[in-house]
Amino acid sequence: MRFGKQLANFVAIAAGLVTLPVGAFLLLTGRASPLGLVLLAAFYVPITLGITAGYHRLFSHRSYKAAPAVRYGLAVLGAAAIQGPVIEWVSDHRKHHACADREGDPHSPHLTPRAGLVGTLTGFWHAHVGWLFQTQGEADPAVFAPDLLADPGIVLIDRFNGVFVAAGLAAPAAAGLVLAGPEGALAGFFWGGLFRAALTHHLTFAVNSICHMVGARPFATKDNSRNLGLLALPTLGDAWHHNHHRYPACAYHGFHARQLDPTALVIGLGEALGVVWDVNKPTARMGEESLLGSA
C-alpha cells in the first residue's frame, strides 16, 4: 500500500478522532450551532446515501438500475463521503463478499492469529480502521469491477474523486456563509463538513467491524455477518448486514416492516418516480425468516 495513501487515511481518521469528541462536547453542553446541526442533517443524509444507495447497493451489488442522472449523482455523493474513489471502494467490497471472513477478506475482524480479548480487540481494530493502512485498494478492479471500468462516466468521477471530496467539505461552509456570514461558514464547515465526514466514516466502519461481531444471525451463512437494529437508522439501513450477506443482490436490507431501512425507502421513491427500476426486493418469506433472533 502506498505511503501517500496511508498518510491521507491517517489524516482523515485523526481529524475524525478530534472532531467527534469536540462535537459531542458541544452537543452535551448545549453549545452546538443550530444552523450547524441543520447543515449536518442536510449533508449527512444525501452523502451517506451516496455510500448506501450508490457505492454499495447500486454499484457493488447491482441490486437495481437507475437513470444516468441518479447513477452518476450517487457516485458523486459517495465520493464526497471521503471513503475512496468509487471503483476502488466497489472492488474492495466485492472482494469482501467473495472472501467474507476468510483469507483474502480486506476487513474481517476474525482473521487475527491472537486469541481471547486481545484477539477480539485486534480484530475489531483491523476491521474498523486498521485495514485502511494495510489492505484498502488491493483488490484488482480488472477482476472485481470490470463493469465500472467500462463506464466512462464512472471512470471520470473516479479520476476526479479529490474534487468531490473538497466540494463535500466546502459546500456546507458556503451554505453557512450565505445564511449567516463568516460564523455560519465556520459552523457549516465543522458540522456539515468535518463532523459529518467523521460520523459517516465510523458508522460505515461499524458495519465492517461491529456487524461482523455482535447481533442476530437468523440465516445460515458461512460468514460472521450480523443484524444490529440499534445501528439501522444512523447507517440508513446498512446495519441489517446479515440479511445483506444472505441475499447480497437484494436492494432492500431491511426485509420486514419492523426492520427500518431508510435507503430502501429512497430507492422505492426513485422507483415510483420512474428513475429507478428492476429493483430486487425481499420476499415475504425472507422477511419472516429475518426476524428470527432479531437484535
Region of 30 (left: φ > 0; alpha: ψ -120 to 50; beta: rest) is: left
Instruction: Quote the pLDDT of residue 294.
Output: 53
Displacement of CA 106 from its chain's centroid (Å): 15
Q: Give CA–CA dist 13/34, Å, rounded.
A: 26
253 near 215, Cβ under 8 Å?
no
Q: Give CA–CA dist 114/120, Å, rounded.
A: 8
126 near 107, Cβ under 8 Å?
yes
What is the SS3 assignment for 215?
A: coil
Q: Give CA–CA dist 105/130, Å, rounded.
A: 13
- In single-letter form, the type of residue at position 26 comes to L
Q: Count Cα neighbours of 294 within 13 Å in the Cβ-side half-sphere.
A: 16
Q: Give CA–CA dist 34/55, Å, rounded.
A: 30
Q: Give CA–CA dist 237/259, Å, rounded.
A: 8
CB neighbours (10 Å) of residue 241?
25
pLDDT tens per residue across span 71-95: 999 999 999 999 999 999 999 999 9
DSSP state of 209: T
Residues of the chain with pLDDT under 70: 293-295
Q: Are strands 276-277 and 65-66 parallel, antiparallel or unpaired?
A: antiparallel
Query: Global pTM?
Result: 0.95
75 near 54, Cβ under 8 Å?
yes
